[in-house]
Structure 1
Amino acid sequence: MTYLNRLIPVLFGIFFISVSVSCKNSETEKDQAMAETETKVVSDSLKWSERMMLSEMERFPEASKLDFRDKPKWSYTNGLVLKAAKEVYEKTGKQQYYDYLYAYADTMITDQGAIRTYKLSDQNLDMLNSGNVLLYLYPKTKEERFLEALKTLRSQIDTQPRTSDGGFWHKKRYTHQMWLDGLYMAEPFYAHYTQMFSDGETAKKAYDDIVHQFDLIQEHSLDQETGLLYHGWDESREQKWTNKETGTSPHFWSRAMGWYGMALVDVLDYLPEDHPGREKLINYLKQFSEAVVAVQDEKSGLWYQVLDQGDREGNYLEASGSSMFVYTFAKAVSKGYISQDYQTIAEKGYQGILDNLISVEENGIVNLNEVCAVAGLGGEPYRDASFEYYVNEEIRSNDPKGTGPFILASLQLDR
């Protein structure tokens, strides 16, 4: 037998072994990839809107305990994330999102229509926001308990304490004060309820009242130089945080402006096309947009906790306000309220969130970081509305006041 003849079987054997090892390695890699996919709680093949919604549902399996609560609570943060759940459901048609939304109402509304943990006597505008969940569910389910709860919430508007010129106090215990936050908490609910249940002179009176709340905030809280609006206004000038001449708080807080922007675009969903206040609100929105863009961080596309003082030590790029601004701009562009130029601004802001504030765990869970946990005015312990106060409040990840608007912004941008 020649040397070549002896070598051929050897070479064939080596080739066979090489191919077998290669196939096994390929199968192993494929198995590993499949295993990794199967262990992911949230798939990275989904859009960011679903990825964050599923992450919220994983963090808070019970919607009544959103916002890191030990016990169920009727609160505005639930309503904010559940508005996002509603829109994700409508976009995808996936039943799990509707079920999550429904479970909140089912838990919090008794068979008789009472709202668990809610106290009408508190006259707290924050509590109206979750009423939007019931406004969505009642036409679908026709459950009388949801209607009874809605009537209770609507009755709060009739008894809410007001300033001398008709502005809602933010809460009964925050006497003579209007906050930007309150426009979001009350007015979209008020407008949607009116559209659904009122007509004729009753409806006109309600719509006029809603527009009047925006008029008053513009009158009392607007800074003519920057176009930004101060967080709060105290008619009585009694609060330590108030400017004794103007009644305003001293700073422009990112999330307060975010609440206000979202209030404008959401109320316009329900204000009749022929209402004389409609054009006024759109003009307020245009003014708002110009002012907010002027303080956008050029490098990151984000916005600072104290909007106009980005170069001051301690200030930081904050997630909830940034998400709210992106949502407001993207929705306002899609509705034709503001120039198409703002689409680019919204997309820059959104990319800034992805690049700087989003992190993803190995199992696919998505986190939104650098969210101001809470900020308010007065109260106990006293919140003095100083720059130091705003930048030193707790910062945490996945606060629903950030995740909810992030989902809404993602939906508007189809991301």
Structure 2
Amino acid sequence: MLFTQLFALGVALLAPAAAADDQTPYLTWMADTFIQDGVTPNYGYQVATLYLGFEKAYEISNDEKYLDWYKGQIDDHVVLENGTIKNWNYTRYVLDEYRIANNYLYLYDKTGLEKYKSAAKIVRNMINSTPRSPSGGFWHQIFFRNQMWLDGLFMAQPFYAKWTHRYDADNQTAWNDILLQYDLIETHARNKTSGLIPHGWADGQATWADPVTGVSPHVWVRALGWYFMSLVEVLQVFPTSHPGYEKLMSYFVSLAEALKKTRDVDSGTWWQVMEDPYPTYEENFIEASGSAMFTYGWFKGIALGYLPKEAYLETAKDAYTSIVKNFISEAEDNRLVLHGTVDECNLIGKVDLAYYFSRPIRDNHKNGVGPFMLASFEWETWAKDA
């Protein structure tokens, strides 16, 4: 198809980066690229996702430049000295804007500065009044009444769980609430045959929702990637003594298995629209961000003992090297480029196949780069030699 030809031509014009098995330090190379290119600070989830990669670049290198750059992005531009968030709207209730509170907690741990904890607490207090569906699910945004998008689980639940673990561990109501968000998605949206989960579920009516099930029509690769990553984050802090812990683990493990079955054999990565029969469609394409998210989730799940090494490690390693082969190249000025990340896909209006197939493809999109850096950290610290 035309898109595939143009994409291949664009990649061919750039020098290929060294292969993953050459142990090229992609993590710090990508961090250096973004420092060189510059990033506009804000409290959106795209930059929050990129900052996760900088946390790992600092961890693997112990080079203060990565922490200093990261802290400089937040100071004055996002978190003010009095502990408030610049231009924060206390009645907006957009889950996408909750994600960066994880980054505030990270900087609080690294610096001890109370302003970061205060900023995180603002977001935690927003959770108490976030609008809910009749079943208790968080609205994805105040603009999308009674709609739960898989993206939203990543945006809100890991922070909700981390805050509760750190500062309110005996709050069973909070733990039950976190579990409820996953239970609703699993009960209403998980396909029992494929094990995959479509982009969203409406606890009521929505233009894109099936009138009977409330489920959106297609499985979008990055939405499922956000969901997979959210589970591996929440499981690390969710109390093992809680009866919901085993449910969350089963959700993660069963999805990990479904991802093995849906990975494209030829490319080693995953399709933009994942459910059968659409991977065979000419208009479909392999996508970088979701592929990086799934690979990171596998690596992290293996490292934490959630997934058996013998069943997943070789597949995860092959997925990582496939991402490098399919999507990574070196550009001018020693810049590293991740190709193949699809632009934002929203549940607004008509979200048919043509919509998902026609969305633009971006180079070095933060939603792809952050997860690739996370996967690279796992690769570079243990996986490549395991």
TM-score, scaled to structure 1? 0.83
Query: For 1:363 and 1:247, how far apart are their aligned partners in 2?
Result: 49
2:17 aligns with none
Match of 2:356 in 1: 390
CA gap 1:295/1:45 in 2 versus in 1, 3 angstroms: closer
- Shift in Å, 1:46: 5.0
2-side partners of 1:401 and 1:140: how far apart?
Answer: 24
Given the alignment, which residue of 378, 383, 386 partners 1:412?
378
In the alignment, structure 1 residue 169 sits paired with structure 2 residue 144: no
- CA gap 1:316/1:100 in 2 versus in 1, 3 angstroms: same
Structure 2 match to 1:356: 326
| 1:229-277 deviation line (CA, Å, top 9, x unaligned) | 010111112x221100100100000001100100010111211232222
Task: Give the conservation status (yes or no) of the 8 Å contact 1:73–1:117.
Answer: no
1:227 aligns with 195
Contact 2:53 2:374 in 1 (8 A): yes
Paired residues for 1:244-283 under 5 Å:
244-283=211-250
Which secondary structure does the structure 2 equivalent of 1:178 belong to? strand
Percent identity between matched residues is: 36
| Whole-Å separation in 2 of the counterparts to 1:94 and 1:269 | 26
Q: Deviations over 1:292-313 (max 9, x none)?
A: 1111100111101001221112
Equivalent position SS for 2:148:
strand
- Is the CA contact 1:243–1:249 (under 8 Å) kept in the aligned structure 2? yes
Q: Secondary structure at the match of 1:374?
A: coil
Structure 2 residue 25 is the aligned partner of structure 1 residue 47 = yes
Does the 8 Å CA contact 2:102/2:120 hold for their aligned counterparts?
no
Larger Rg: 1
Q: How many residues align?
A: 356
- Report deviation, 1:350: 1.0
Measured in 2, the distance between the counterparts of 1:172 and 1:373 equals 22
* Residues 1:289 and 2:289 are matched in the alignment: no
| 2:338 aligned partner | 368
Q: Are 2:293 and 1:315 aligned?
A: no
Query: Relative contact order (C-alpha < 8 Å, sep 6+): which is higher?
Result: 2
Q: Give the superposition deviation at 1:170.
A: 0.5
Structure 2 vs 1, CA of residues 219 and 59 (structure 1 numbering), >3 Å: closer, same or farther? Answer: same
Unpaired stretches in structure 2, ≥5 consecutive residues: 1-21
Amino acid at match of 1:170: H
- Select 2:178's aligned residue among 184, 206, 210: 210
Q: SS at the partner of 2:91?
A: helix
Query: Are residues 1:82 and 2:82 paired?
Result: no
Match of 2:271? 304
Question: Over residues 212-237 of structure 1, what are the superposed CA-to-partner deviations in whole Å (9 max), with x where a residue is unaligned?
Answer: 11111101111112110010111112
Q: Which range is displaced more, 191-200 or 288-297?
A: 191-200
Aligned counterpart, 1:12:
none
Separation in structure 2 between the aligned mates of residue 410 and residue 139 of structure 1, nearest angstrom: 23
Contact 2:135 2:203 in 1 (8 A): no
Secondary structure of the equivalent of 1:366? strand
Distance 2:167 2:157 in 1: 15
* 8 A Cα contact 2:287 2:341, kept in partner: yes
